Homo-oligomer: A and B are copies of this chain.
Amino acid sequence: MTSPAPTTLSYRQSGVDYDLIDPLKVSAQRAAAATASHLGAHGFAEVAASRGESAYVVDVGPFYLASIVECLGSKALVADEMAKLTGHSWYGAIAQDTIAMAVNDLITVGATPLVVQAYWAAGGSDWFGDGQRAQALVQGWKAACDACGVAWGGGETPALAGIVEAGRIDLAAACTGIVNPKTRLSVGDALGPGDAIVLLDSSGIHANGLSLARKLVERLPDGWLTEVAPDLSYGAALLAPTVLYSPVTEALWKAGIAPHYCANITGHGWRKLLRHAKALRYRIHTLPPVPPVLRFIQQQAGQDDEEAYGTLNMGAGFALFVAAADAERTVQVAQAQGVGARVAGVVEAGPKELIIEPLDLHFGDDALQLR
């Protein structure tokens, strides 16, 4: 272990400035909302409650249609560094991360993912000339599709010299699914006091917080090969692929459990538990174990718990808000799918806030501005 970092490293210092992005987001969201009326010409309508949620939902009659596009982010840069150091490609894991970004968002609304489209934009044609890397990406992509039971419909593999940096690749995935039957819709209508909060374990950093993680490596004497646990390098730990949660949500439906709401814990960390617009208090009484790489980042970056839990997933990759009577069985269903889970908290009447009791943390209504 290296010595603690001398100064705190915040997410903004690592290069992502949400203040510059957010005004555009607001403007785009308003413009987007104004286009919903077009669906009427086809006899359809949007599910207005899905605006601002992780996937967009349209009522097409017999069922709801859900769609999403999601970006991997900068995690591929870590794979590139580790390939140099280890001599083998990490793009199999990266492929799973990319699909997880899309699928884990799509399922929050109750959708069954059906089709994934690949978006692989390289800095030049030569990216695809590295056969080992390209095959790792293809096989990892297929394996993740197999794990989620989705069809890989096709995609786009442009060479974008001048836009994407030489030697790099911009990875994204689009996913389309249906909410069928319509009673599976989980955009929060049924969310309310008394619901249990079940947290599903993450496998590590997943694909959010990588800008911070990459910035941090500059402080580590052994860089990417610094051990975060015995025989586990920082780079390898970061590259643990994101858990695919759709097998859990599909199994829950088969077990007769319909979550009232779901939150994919990505950017903004646990603040994502405040995602729904309703005024409700989320009280956490039990914490999941923190993956070694996240504890390491927290320590090395000198983050207090508020910064860490407000930025990183800290062991919780996905939140299910279910009826209290379904809570224990939800945990069992998840575990049967190989995903660690625990009843971690409860929803209460009250002002919109998140209380993480074991850490004495409080996040208020102003902690997450997504709409």
Please, how many angstroms separate the alpha-carbon atoms of A131 and B28 in the complex?
Answer: 12
Please, how many angstroms separate the alpha-carbon atoms of A124 and B76 in the complex?
Answer: 16
Question: Are B172 and A27 in contact, with the CB atoms below 8 A?
Answer: no
Question: Are B158 and A73 in contact, with the CB atoms below 8 A?
Answer: yes
Range class of the A interface residue count: 35 or more
Question: Are A163 and B174 in contact, with the CB atoms below 8 A?
Answer: no
CB within 8 Å of B: which A146-171 residues: 146, 149-165, 168-170
Please, how many angstroms separate the alpha-carbon atoms of A73 and B125 in the complex?
Answer: 13
Closest Cβ–Cβ distance, residue A19 to chain B (whole Å):
8
One complex includes copies of this chain to the number of 2
Interface string of A103-138 (1 = CB under 8 A from B): 000000000101101110100111011010011001
Please, how many angstroms separate the alpha-carbon atoms of A41 and B41 in the complex?
Answer: 33
CB within 8 Å of B: which A4-33 residues: 15-18, 20-21, 23-25, 27-29, 31-32
Q: Does A296 contact B (CB under 8 A)?
A: no
Question: Are B159 and A117 in contact, with the CB atoms below 8 A?
Answer: no
Cross-interface CB contact of A58 among B134, B151, B159, B160, cutoff 8 Å: B151
Residues in B neighbouring A25, C-beta threshold 8 A: 157
Q: A21-B157, A24-B134, A163-B170 are in contact. Are A151 and B35 (CB under 8 A)?
A: yes
Question: Are A65 and B176 in contact, with the CB atoms below 8 A?
Answer: yes
Cross-interface CB contact of A162 among B31, B32, B149, B165, cutoff 8 Å: B165
Residues in B neighbouring A142, C-beta threshold 8 A: 31-32, 34-35
Q: Does A87 contact B (CB under 8 A)?
A: no
Please, how many angstroms separate the alpha-carbon atoms of A76 and B142 in the complex?
Answer: 31
Question: Are B161 and A15 in contact, with the CB atoms below 8 A?
Answer: yes
Question: Are B31 and A67 in contact, with the CB atoms below 8 A?
Answer: no
Please, how many angstroms separate the alpha-carbon atoms of A164 and B61 in the complex?
Answer: 40
Question: Are B34 and A163 in contact, with the CB atoms below 8 A?
Answer: no
Please, how many angstroms separate the alpha-carbon atoms of A15 and B123 in the complex?
Answer: 11
Cross-interface CB contact of A164 among B38, B145, B170, cutoff 8 Å: B170
List 19 additional contacts besides A42-B149, A58-B115; criterion CB under 8 Å. Answer: A17-B126, A18-B125, A24-B128, A24-B157, A27-B135, A27-B138, A31-B141, A32-B152, A32-B155, A35-B150, A60-B63, A67-B67, A69-B118, A71-B121, A74-B161, A117-B174, A121-B172, A172-B172, A174-B174
A-B pairs with beta carbons under 8 Å apart, 19 shown? A20-B129, A21-B128, A27-B138, A28-B141, A28-B157, A32-B151, A32-B152, A56-B151, A67-B176, A69-B69, A69-B156, A71-B160, A74-B161, A74-B162, A77-B163, A156-B172, A160-B170, A162-B214, A163-B168
A interface residues (Cβ-Cβ under 8 A, vs B): 15-18, 20-21, 23-25, 27-29, 31-32, 34-36, 38-39, 41-42, 44, 46, 51, 56, 58, 60-63, 65, 67-71, 73-74, 76-77, 112, 114-115, 117-119, 121, 124-126, 128-129, 131, 134-135, 138-139, 141-142, 145-146, 149-165, 168-170, 172, 174, 176, 178, 211, 214
